[in-house]
Amino acid sequence: MTQASTLPRPLNRAIGGPLVGENAGEGAHSGLRAVLGAEQWMRLPEAVRERFAENAAAVTYAGAFEIVRASLLGRLFAWLGVIFGGPVTPRIGNDVEARVFVRPNGFGVEWTREYLWADGRRDVVRSTKVITGDARLIEKLPARLCMPLATWQENGVLHFVSRGYYFDTLFGFKLWLPGFFTPGITHVEHIDLGHGWFRFTMTVTHPVFGEMFFQTGRFCAAEGLE
């Protein structure tokens, strides 16, 4: 049994709300409808559309990762990444209690994953999903590292797949990283499980060294967590 089953019950309310519109600058977007297109958007389960709606409110999800796995090389990448703000946790384990804080802001939506390890340690991974004016999705990681994402739905499952990595430099140009020197292609799946629950699965695969990271866990919106 995972630790997710011992957490508070899911909220029995819609997540949608006006928060983004109050804080966003002119022309800012946070919902995925523009990225997916109306037809693909309507094929998603209603609960997924609520979570990724244009004006979705701030929410905290609670649950657990049944698996947090990384290869030896992947863990080396992760520990080196700590220098740049820790874009991925360097630790591994099973049934790891976790929280996900989703906070809209004037630029996009910040997603913060908090891993609560059994020995009392805590890892925090932050990124911000930003939708550009031409409806492209960019995930912005610490240290100005950016990851453009291809986004689509298939059989009701929402997919995010990286299309390279670059540093958004202070001089206004993009410094793209050669594929060999990155962790690889990141593929995230958001799978609705019904009754307020969803599954988050992330796989990172290097073109030469194979799987670098794999994480999967179940989450639901929960009260009383900040």
Encode pLDDT of 144-182 as tens digits.
Answer: 999 999 999 999 999 999 999 999 999 889 999 999 999
Structural contact between residues 128 and 143, judged by C-beta atoms closer than 8 angstroms: no
Of 61, 199, 86, 200, nearest to 142 by C-alpha is 86
Mean pLDDT for 190-212 is 97
Full-model pTM: 0.86
Structural domain contains residue 117 = yes
Confidence band for 199, pLDDT divided at 50, 70 and 90: very high
Domain range spanning residue 197? Answer: 3-7+14-221
Encode pLDDT of 53-71 as tens digits.
Answer: 998 889 999 999 999 999 9
Question: Which of 115-129 are b and which e, b meaning 16 or more Cβ less than 10 Å from the residue's Cβ?
Answer: beeeeeeebebbbbb
Domains: count for the chain: 1
| Range 172-175, long-range pairs (CB < 8 A, 24+ positions) | 174/146
Q: Is the pLDDT of residue 8 over 60?
A: no
What one-character-per-residue DSSP string does 74-97 give? HHHHHHHHGGGT-SS----EEEEE
Confidence band for 84, pLDDT divided at 50, 70 and 90: confident
Task: Please state, in angstroms and rounded to a whole number, the distance separating the CA atoms of residues 39 and 119.
Answer: 46
Beta strands 93-104 and 109-116 are antiparallel
Q: Is the pLDDT of residue 202 over 50?
A: yes
Q: Is the pLDDT of residue 215 over 90?
A: yes
Task: Please state, in angstroms and rounded to a whole number, the distance separating the CA atoms of residues 181 and 160.
Answer: 21
Percent share of the chain, pLDDT over 70: 85
Structural domain contains residue 226 = no
Mean pLDDT for 112-129 is 96
Query: Domain holding 135: CATH number?
Result: 2.40.128.20
| Whole-number pLDDT of residue 82 | 86
- Number of other residues whose CB lies within 10 A of the CB of residue 96: 23
Structural contact between residues 48 and 192, judged by C-beta atoms closer than 8 angstroms: yes
Residue 27 class from Cβ within 10 Å (0-12 exposed, 13-18 middle, 19+ buried)? exposed
